[in-house]
Each structure stands twice: as structure tokens, then as C-alpha cells.
Structure 1
Amino acid sequence: MDAEGFRKYGRQMVDYIADYLENIRERDVVHRVSPGYMRPLLPDEAPEKAESFDEVMKDIEKIIMPGTTHWHSPHFHGYFAAGNSFPSILGDMLSDAIGCIGFSWATSPACTELEVITTDWLGKMMNLPEEFLHSSEGKGGGVIQSTASETVLLCLLAARTRTVAKYKEADPSTDEMQIISKLVGYCSDQANSSVERSGLLGAVRMVKLLSDENFSLRGETLRKAVEADKAKGLIPFFLCASLGTTGSCAFDNLEELGPICAAEDMWLHIDAAYAGSAFVCPEFRHYMKGIQYAETFSFNPHKWMLINFDCSVMWIKNSSYLVDAFNVDPIYLRHSCEGKLPDYRHWQIPLGRRFRSLKLWFMLRSYGISGVQEYIRRHCRLAKEFEKMILDDGRFEVVTQVVMGLVCFRLKCSNKVTERLLGEILADGRIYLIPAFVRNIYFLRFAICAERTTSDDVKFSFQVIKSCTDRLLQKVSLKNGYKHVPVINIDAPQHLETEESKYSSDSSTPDVDQ
């Protein structure tokens, strides 16, 4: 394809993308294909001779779209939002065209410098402590990673290196592996599975601590765990606190956890993958109280801030901890301007990196701070609208406080009936939800995800849930020979039903890649 062909088909593709997103309500939100559906539709080998791109365009609807789950549909309410906007898409297009591999300032100064500036913009939008900014006089700053999962691993490895160095300095004869064998990190039992996985990859113990009745990790729980582990000769070194958990959007208590981490010289990392976007709105920043104790903080603009995947931003107070952990500096990567601006290859696991700050820059300039704030607030208003519909119906209960764009709800019945309701909803196919299971409570998660979601879309989704509930409860009533399904108080002891032991709090909430 030459430049003229690119202009022709580029215009066609832009039109196709615009039409796809503008008319996405007309598509079934979830695919209806079976595993292996694509194999009969494609030849066994790549074509020997070039094909017309007209034929490729035709096959998008024939082959690709039937197997696509439409995350940007206003009827998609699973997981959390997958960010998207036209300015962000355009930023990725330009990034792909430039195609630089920005592992150092010298390889593409614009790639590095725009990332420094835009991560500072974001940090100031959320009122992060100055130590997290490149513009401060310290060693802090922001960096764009691929996912929050990668960020947790990065921070754990940096914390491990820092702790090992501290103990080696105190006693140079101490064996490094012996120190690592004693390290123990902590997280809430509500933390994303990526935290436990980071412990496995970093070869350190990762202990899940019991959260309170609001699914929040509290200081006293951490204190007791630290004291018990120190008594066993272990070395507490890392805590990953969650602001907006995957299952229920719960918030760990940073004001209580932070001072303990400071007193014990533990690295505090804050994972705010979803909820962090809301901190651009001042009314949500009280959830950040205690952030001054953190060494690192991250959230995903590619979730709830109109940026398409991937774009996870991490801030660190002292970047030298990352450089010390990952610095391998062969001569062919060096350049004459080292030290004047970050060489981001030292701030991440991969060497190469994309020009991801372009899409962030395009979006922030196109929406402005006020536009992003209104987007977040609108989603929160829609969640409250849905909560009211659920409560007004009378057959449902809301499991956790609705503070952002997620509503966790269940039927006032046994876990099994709520699970069957999800089956009815998925079989119906008009909307998409996922479940969670916390403290022996099986519930459904209704997340406001798409940029284009309106009040009418939320009403439509509730009507689908209502009609599916009508059908299900009719079946249950007929089967059991009574007119009404018995209500079970979720606070009562009988709620802990032994036949539901098949559920696991580690697996019932599918994790989207952070």
C-alpha cells in the first residue's frame, strides 16, 4: 500500500470507526460464537499473493465483529470502564505512525518530554503531593506503564531491592537470598489478583489481610500482622493499599495504614486503578487522605479517563529506587545528555516503549480539566440513578455503598437465586454484567462503563434486569410451590449457606487486566 492507498483506506477506516462507535447500541453487546468459530472462516495459510484491501475491509464485519464483545456499548456493565475517546484514538494513530521506541531521551526527546509534562499535568489535576512531580526539586515523577498489574510488580521489586540493600549495608556478610526469603508483603483480601501474582513473580510472601465490614483494610489489622511476622523473624517490607477494589470499589484506610508503614520503613504502594480517575474531582479526594505516606501511587487513565488501552500512570517520590533495581546500562544505550531528563528504560521492565503520552495530551487538551470532571460526575450520577431503581423495586438490596460508578446488588434471596439471575441476564444477551463473591455474599456488579451511556441506557438495562427477575422468580416460585421467594437478611447468620462453599472470593470476580 502506497501513500495514496493509505489516504484512501485511512479515510474509510476512520469512517468505519466513527460509525461503529456512534451506532454501537445497535450491536449485540456480547458475542454469540463458540470457541474455534474463526478457523473455518480463514484459510490455513497466509495468502501467497497480495489481496486488495477492499477485501480486507469486507472481512471485518464477516470475521472480526461476530467474535467481538463490545466493551464500549452503553449496555456493557461488566468489570470497569475501558476508556476511549476520539482524541485518544487519534493520538494512538500518530504514535503508531511515528513509531519511535522511546527508551531514552536521545531516541526521541519529544516522547520523553511530553510524558514528563503530561504526568505532571495529571498529578496536579489530582492534587498529588509535590514530591510525586517531575517539577519538584526532588527525585520524584510520573511514568506511563502498560497496566497497573505491571506497576505493582515494579514497585514490589524496587521495594525488595531497597530492603535488601538496607540489610546488606548493616551487615555486608548477610546473604542476599537469605534476606529475600524473610521478606513479607501485605494487601487486603479485596486487592486485585495482580498483587498476589506480583508476590509470586518477586519470590516473596504476600499475605492477604482481612478487611472490615466495609471491605476496607484497617491499621490495627496491619499492625497485628506486622508484629506477628516480626516475632517469627520475618521482614515486613511492602504494602499494596487499594483505593477502589475490583469487587466492590472499596477503599483501604490510608490514614491508619500510612503511619504504620512509615514507622516500619515499609514501602506503601497505592493501587487506584479504577477510582484514581475520580480524584480529579475535589469531592472524591477525601479517599486519598494519607497519600503522603506512599512511596508510589498509580491509576489507569485507560479505565475511566477517556484514554484507550494501554495507559497506566505511576508516580514515585524517589525514582532512584527504580533505577537501582533495573539499571543495566550497556554502552549502546548511553547518550551525551544523560541525567538531564529521565531515561524511562530505567523506570520499567521492558526496554522499548511507545509514545503513549500523545493520546493523553490529545485527550486532556480536547476535554480540559472541566470536561474530564463532568464525564466522571455524569457516570456517578448514572450509578445513583440505577441504585434508586434497584431499591425502589423492592426485590433487591445494595450490598455496598455506591460512591462512584459501580453498583453492587443482589436479590433478597439465597446466593443461588442471584447466581441464576445472572444466568438469565447473560442468556437474554441484551446487557452484560459480571458477579463478585465477598464474605459469602454473591452479588452482581453494575458498572457504568461507556462514554456514551445515558440515563435512557441505564433505564433500559434496569428493565432487562427486571424482566429477567420476573421470569426467574416465576420459575423458582412454581418449582418450590409458593408464591414468593423467601427474603434472607444478609446480616443474619443463616446467610452463610454451606451448599455455596463452591464459591471462592479469589476467583468469583473475574479480573480484567489492569
Structure 2
Amino acid sequence: MSPDEFRRYGKQVVDWIADYLAGIESYPVRSQVRPGEVRSMLPAHPPERGEPYENVLRDVERVILPGVTHWQHPNFFAYFPANASGPAILGDLLSSGLGVQGMVWATSPACTELETVVVDWLAELLDLPFREDGVAGGVIQDSASSAALVAVLAALGKTDRPGRIYVSSQTHSALEKAARIVGSEVRVVEVDPETLAMDSAQLRALISEDVAAGVRPALVCATIGTTSTTAIDPVREIGAVCREYGVWLHVDAAYAGVAAICPELRWINDGVAEYADSYATNPHKWLLTNFDCGVLWVRDRRPMIDALSILPEFLRNQASDSGEVIDYRDWQVPLGRRFRALKLWSVIRWYGAEGLREHIRTGVSLAQRFAGFVAADPEFELWEHHPFGLVCFRPLRTSAAETLALMERVNDSGVLYLSHTKVGDDVLLRMAIGAPMTTAEHVDHAWQVIRDARGVLGQSR
């Protein structure tokens, strides 16, 4: 493809994306295709000869689009937001166009140095203490799952024998997967039955028991905003236990951490500055930056680098040998690195702190609006903890199976998309608000759809 051809087709693709976003409400939120339907529309074998790009664009409309669940739809309320925005998409396009491989500073100095600056910007916006100073610092990972694995590897590097990892029943499964990858055992700490926050007293008891048995405690994961219900672990109390026993404290704030861009929500990070050894949050969830963009900060980079740095001869270069630069290949599991900083940089510059705060506050306000509807309806029960953009609730006098059936009825309609979780024996529906195009009208309509589905459920009993 020549530069002129790229220019012509590139304009068509940008126009297509703009039209798609402008008309996204015309699509069913969740894809309506059946398993295997997309595959059946694709040829079994690759083309022998190249095709005009018009054919690709035509098949995007014909084959791909029907099989897409529209995460940017204003009625997408499942899981957590996966924000994409104009400046982020353009930043990603610039990254793809430059085609940078940023494994070491020398392979593209701008890739490294922009990342250092933009991650420091984000730390400042969130009032986090981990800014680049030669000891602390941050790095963009693909996700909080990779950040958790890096934290586990760093923590284990400080031990002289296999270490144990401590999580709660509400901790993201990424920590269990990280433990499986490195061959560590996991102990599950009980949670407060009302708040679902980790019980720091039981954590102390478990660690004390393990130490007495000769087991090395390696890492505790405290969560700020669990995936299930956005429960918040008591970081300060957990941190005190970790400090007492010399255990690495990793704070997983994948979804909720970006909320601290609003001063009134910085209470969520109580204890982080004093106790956290590592901290992760995902701008690609709620901060208008399309996937993948997760940020990991560490208080002391040395254990991480010691655990991950392997230097083959083909990577040796004068800049790295000087010790004057950062090589982010030593801050992650893979060697290769995309120029992810461009899209986060584009987002922060386009919106500014003021615009980013407005986006978070809008999501919180709309969630409170929805929670008010649930609380006022005698047919529903509200999960009381909802400080962010997620509201958990359930219909009363229904079984778990009936609650799931209600959700599937709503989701199958294509009008909106919800997900669920389970607390004890209760199935809760999750209404996650945060898409840039979601307004009060969308929230009001979603509530009406849910109430109507509840009414149908009641009639069928």
C-alpha cells in the first residue's frame, strides 16, 4: 500500500469510525449472532491474490459488525466501561503509524521519555506518591493483570524461598493466575460480610500462622474497587500488617483508581502513600483511553528490575550501559513494547484535568441517580455500597435462576446490556455506568426496561 493509497483508504476508515460512533445507538448493544455464525461467513482459506481494500471495508459491514458487541454504546452497562475517545483513538493511530518498538530507550527515546512524563502526570492527577525519582516510578502495562504478575515477581524476588500470596474472596482472579504462573500458593482471607472488605485481623492471623510454620509471606493484594461490587479493602490496616511482617503490599485499583482524579474521591487511597509497594489502575476502563493502557507504579523499582532484567548481547547499547536512561523492558514480562503513552498523552492534553474530572463526576452522578430509582422501588433491593459508577441490585422475591433469566431477557432484547455477580447465595445485577455518551435519559430508559422485565417475570410466576 503506497502512501497515497494509505491516505485515501485511511480517510475512509476514519470516516467510517466517525459514522459508527455517531450512529452507534442504532445497533443492538449485545451482538445478536449465534455461535459460529461469523465464522461461517468467512472463507475457509486465505486469498491467493491481494484484494482491493474496499472489499475489506465491505466485509467489515457485512460480516464483522453484526458480530460486534458495542462497548461504546451509551446503553452498555455490563462489566466495567471500556472507554474509547476520539483523542485516544487518534493517539493509537499515531502509535500504529510510527510502528515503534520501544523495548529499550535507544530503540526510540521518545517512546520511553514520553511514557515517563505522562505516567508522572497521571500520578500527580491522582495524588499518588510514586513519581519518577530514580527509585520510584511508573510504567504502562497492557492490563492490571500483567501489573499484578509483575508485582508478584518483584515480591518473590525479595524472598529466599517460595512465598505465599494473600487475597480475599473478592480479589480479582488475576492474582490467582499470577500465583499459578509463578508456582506460589494462595491463602484466601475472609471478608466483612456487610462491606466485603478484607478482614485485616484475619490476615494478621494467617500470616502469623504461616511464619510460625516456616512459610514465607510474599505479597498481599488489597483492592480498591473490587470487580464484583467495588468493595474497598482497608489499605491502611492491611498495610500495617504487611509492614509488621515485611510483606509486599500490592494495591489493585484497576477500575476505581482513576476516580481519585476528583479531590472529593481521594479518600479511596487512604494508606496508599504510607504502605503500598505497588499500585495499579487502568485508564482504559474509566478514563477515556481505549484498551490497552494499564499503569503500574512501584515504590522501589529495584526488586522488579532484579526479577525481570535479562540482558542478551544484542540488546546492549551505550545509552543503557550509561545508567542514565530507563529501559522499560525490565519493567514488564514481554520484551516488546508498543508506544501506548501516545494515546494517554492525547487524552490528558485534549480533556485536561478539568474535563477528566467532569467525566468521572458524570458517571458517579448518573450511578447515584440509578441507585435512587432502585432504592425507591419496593420490588428491588439495592446494594448499599455504590460510591463510583457501579450499582448492584436485585429483584426481590425471585430465585437466583429467575434473576439471571431477567438479565438474559434484557440482554437478549439488544436494548441494553447488564452483567451479574454473586454475593453469598444472592445473584446481583450490575449496572456499570461510565460510557462517554451515556446521559440521564439513557439511565432513565434502562431503569424502565429493567422494571418492565421484572413485571413480565412476576406475571410468569
Q: TM-score range by the shorter chain?
A: over 0.9
- Tell me if the contact between 1:139 and 1:320 (Cα under 8 Å) persists in the aligned partners: yes
- Paired position in structure 2 for 1:312: 294
- Paired position in structure 2 for 1:90: 90
The answer to whether residue 403 in structure 2 is matched with residue 418 in structure 1 is yes
- The AA in structure 2 aligned to 1:133 is R
- Paired position in structure 1 for 2:109: 109
- Tell me if the contact between 1:435 and 1:442 (Cα under 8 Å) persists in the aligned partners: yes
The answer to whether residue 115 in structure 2 is matched with residue 133 in structure 1 is no
- Paired position in structure 1 for 2:312: 330
- Tell me if the contact between 2:196 and 2:231 (Cα under 8 Å) persists in the aligned partners: yes
The answer to whether residue 232 in structure 2 is matched with residue 247 in structure 1 is no
- Paired position in structure 2 for 1:202: 182
Aligned equivalents of 2:43, 2:432: Cα separation in 1: 39
Aligned equivalents of 1:384, 1:248: Cα separation in 2: 15
- The AA in structure 1 aligned to 2:309 is N
The answer to whether residue 354 in structure 2 is matched with residue 370 in structure 1 is yes
- The AA in structure 2 aligned to 1:197 is K
Once the two structures are superposed, the pairs formed by residues 378-417 of structure 1 within 5 Å of their partners are 378-413=362-397, 414-417=399-402
- Paired position in structure 2 for 1:10: 10
- Tell me if the contact between 1:242 and 1:270 (Cα under 8 Å) persists in the aligned partners: yes
- Paired position in structure 2 for 1:451: 436
CA shift, 1:460, in A, is 1.2
Aligned equivalents of 2:85, 2:145: Cα separation in 1: 23
- Tell me if the contact between 2:30 and 2:412 (Cα under 8 Å) persists in the aligned partners: no
CA shift, 1:154, in A, is 0.8
Q: 2:107 is paired with a residue of what secondary structure?
A: coil
- Tell me if the contact between 1:277 and 1:305 (Cα under 8 Å) persists in the aligned partners: yes
Q: 2:430 is paired with a residue of what secondary structure?
A: strand
- Paired position in structure 2 for 1:55: 55
Superposed CA offset, 1:312-348 (max 9, x none): 0000111111110011111211211222121011111
CA shift, 1:423, in A, is 2.6
Superposed CA offset, 1:6-61 (max 9, x none): 11111111111011111111100011111211233222211112211112111111
- Paired position in structure 1 for 2:158: 162
- Tell me if the contact between 2:179 and 2:186 (Cα under 8 Å) persists in the aligned partners: yes
Q: 1:84 is paired with a residue of what secondary structure?
A: coil
Q: 2:78 is paired with a residue of what secondary structure?
A: coil
- Paired position in structure 2 for 1:124: 124
The answer to whether residue 170 in structure 2 is matched with residue 190 in structure 1 is yes
Aligned equivalents of 2:165, 2:284: Cα separation in 1: 27
CA shift, 1:231, in A, is 2.5
- Tell me if the contact between 1:214 and 1:250 (Cα under 8 Å) persists in the aligned partners: yes
Aligned equivalents of 1:60, 1:13: Cα separation in 2: 11
- Tell me if the contact between 1:411 and 1:417 (Cα under 8 Å) persists in the aligned partners: no
Moved over 3 A (4+): none
Aligned equivalents of 1:335, 1:375: Cα separation in 2: 43
CA shift, 1:411, in A, is 1.0
Superposed CA offset, 1:422-481 (max 9, x none): 1321232311111100122211000013110000011111111011111111111xxxxx
- Tell me if the contact between 2:380 and 2:395 (Cα under 8 Å) persists in the aligned partners: yes
Q: 2:218 aligns with which of 229, 237, 242?
A: 237
CA shift, 1:420, in A, is 2.5
Superposed CA offset, 1:75-118 (max 9, x none): 11110010211000001101001111101110000000000000
- The AA in structure 1 aligned to 2:284 is H
The answer to whether residue 134 in structure 2 is matched with residue 152 in structure 1 is no
Aligned equivalents of 2:30, 2:289: Cα separation in 1: 22
CA shift, 1:400, in A, is 3.4
Moved more, 315-324 or 351-360: 315-324
Aligned equivalents of 1:365, 1:74: Cα separation in 2: 24
Aligned equivalents of 1:236, 1:188: Cα separation in 2: 15
Aligned equivalents of 2:409, 2:75: Cα separation in 1: 16
Aligned equivalents of 1:40, 1:186: Cα separation in 2: 45
- Paired position in structure 2 for 1:460: 445
Percentage identity across paired residues of the two chains? 42
CA shift, 1:419, in A, is 2.3
CA shift, 1:389, in A, is 1.4
Superposed CA offset, 1:348-370 (max 9, x none): 10001000000011110000001
Aligned equivalents of 2:217, 2:457: Cα separation in 1: 49
- Tell me if the contact between 1:243 and 1:287 (Cα under 8 Å) persists in the aligned partners: yes
- Tell me if the contact between 1:72 and 1:449 (Cα under 8 Å) persists in the aligned partners: no
Aligned equivalents of 1:48, 1:20: Cα separation in 2: 31
Once the two structures are superposed, the pairs formed by residues 467-478 of structure 1 within 5 Å of their partners are 467-476=452-461
Q: Output the TM-score relative to the length of structure 2.
A: 0.97
Aligned equivalents of 2:252, 2:81: Cα separation in 1: 16
Q: 2:303 aligns with which of 296, 317, 321?
A: 321
- Tell me if the contact between 1:258 and 1:294 (Cα under 8 Å) persists in the aligned partners: yes
Q: 1:38 is paired with a residue of what secondary structure?
A: helix
- Tell me if the contact between 2:83 and 2:284 (Cα under 8 Å) persists in the aligned partners: yes
Aligned equivalents of 1:86, 1:398: Cα separation in 2: 35
Aligned equivalents of 1:345, 1:50: Cα separation in 2: 36
- Tell me if the contact between 1:214 and 1:400 (Cα under 8 Å) persists in the aligned partners: no
Q: Output the TM-score relative to the length of structure 1.
A: 0.87
- Tell me if the contact between 1:248 and 1:400 (Cα under 8 Å) persists in the aligned partners: no
Aligned equivalents of 2:39, 2:301: Cα separation in 1: 47
Could you say if the C-alpha distance between residues 310 and 66 of structure 1 is closer, same or farther in structure 2, counting changes exceeding 3 Å? same
- Tell me if the contact between 2:225 and 2:256 (Cα under 8 Å) persists in the aligned partners: yes
- Tell me if the contact between 2:165 and 2:184 (Cα under 8 Å) persists in the aligned partners: yes
- Tell me if the contact between 2:79 and 2:432 (Cα under 8 Å) persists in the aligned partners: yes
Any stretches of 5+ residues in structure 2 without a counterpart?
A: none
